[in-house]
Amino acid sequence: MNLPDDLHESVKMALDPSKTLNFSPMLRLQWEETQQKHVILYPEGMVELNVPSTEILKLCDGSHNAEEILVELESKFNQPGLRNDIFGFLEVAIENGWVS
């Protein structure tokens, strides 16, 4: 597979629950009034997000790892058992280059 080095690295990267996560500085996470939801803006367009996805990405601020995000969101929403959902979304976010 002939991918650019930076893309190749993001595709190969698997979620390490202890690694601090950062939202990509090349993207913007913002509230979009016309859609009435948060979106990821990038040069070619945007991705509309649901509330859980937004909450996860807001915590990818360089000071939380996946385990900390899990604990914080399970506590915030008083809902245990979110590991598969949160870690699954983080894997997708890493694969898409939204998070590193």
Give the burial string for 2-31 (b: 16+ CB within 10 Å, else e): eeeeeeeebeeeebeeeeebebbeebebee
CA–CA dist 29, 39 (Å, integer): 6
Share of the chain above pLDDT 90, in %: 83
CA–CA dist 81, 61 (Å, integer): 23
Digit-by-digit pLDDT tens for the chain (100 residues) are 233 344 334 344 579 999 999 999 999 999 999 999 999 999 889 999 999 999 999 999 999 999 999 999 999 999 999 999 999 999 999 999 999 9
- 8-state DSSP, 10: H
Domains of the chain in start order, with CATH, are 23-95 (1.10.10.1150)
> Are residues 99 and 62 in contact, defined by beta-carbon separation less than 8 angstroms?
no
Q: Please report the DSSP string for 38-72 in residue order.
A: EEEEETTEEEE--HHHHHHHHT-EEEEEHHHHHHH
